[in-house]
């Protein structure tokens, strides 16, 4: 007999800003350019950039360097016999800057970096997502 086990996972939201790095190293944020989400217990962030509404990006931490991240896209594999469900592509990199409280995001196609806060938005920190297993 199957039972539906329901789990509530907390989701965290983080602002992504456009900005400029000042001569003193401080980042001057100009406006919000997107949002990132992180599910409780996960390590990969999902990035949504407002300019690219239909595209989902993933921020994946490097296994070798705790400050380094990869910005990736994924698409379903076309071969149903393949083990992997998705094909992943690196489209940029990120570097954590704890002093500034952000991850500097460098997309391959953008000339200027974006900055993702490492601090979740307070009003969204308690949002729950219901998963049915």
Output the CA torsion 39→41→44→46 (10° steps).
0
Q: What is the DSSP string of 40-55?
A: TT---EEEEETTSTT-
pLDDT at 133: 44
- Expressed in percent and rounded to 5, the helix, strand and coil fractions of the chain are 0, 55, 40
What confidence tens digit (pLDDT) does each residue in 11-33 have? 999 999 999 888 888 888 889 99
pLDDT at 34: 96
What confidence tens digit (pLDDT) does each residue in 48-107 have? 999 998 899 999 999 999 999 999 999 988 887 778 888 899 999 999 998 889 999 999
Q: What sign results for the dihedral spanned by CA atoms 10, 64, 88, 56?
A: positive
pLDDT at 125 over 70: no
Give the predicted TM-score (pTM) of the model.
0.82
pLDDT at 5 over 50: no
pLDDT at 28: 87
Quickly state the pLDDT bin for 7 (edges 50, 70, 90). Answer: low
pLDDT at 79: 80
Instruction: Please state, in angstroms and as integers, the Cα–Cα distance from residue 77 to each residue in 42, 60, 81, 84, 111, following that order.
Output: 23, 20, 9, 7, 30
């Amino acid at each position: 007999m199957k039972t539906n086990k329901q789990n509530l996972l907390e989701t965290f939201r983080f602002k992504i800003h456009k900005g400029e790095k000042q001569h003193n190293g401080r980042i001057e944020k100009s406006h919000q350019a997107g949002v990132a989400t992180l599910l409780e217990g996960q390590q990969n962030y999902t990035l949504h950039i407002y300019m690219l509404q239909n595209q989902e990006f993933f921020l994946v931490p490097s296994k070798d360097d705790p400050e380094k991240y990869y910005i990736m896209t994924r698409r379903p594999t076309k071969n149903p016999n393949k083990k992997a469900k998705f094909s992943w592509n690196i489209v940029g990199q990120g570097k954590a800057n704890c002093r500034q409280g952000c991850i500097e995001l460098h997309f391959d196609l953008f000339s200027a970096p974006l900055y993702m806060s490492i601090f979740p938005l307070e009003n969204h920190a308690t949002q729950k997502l219901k998963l049915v297993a």
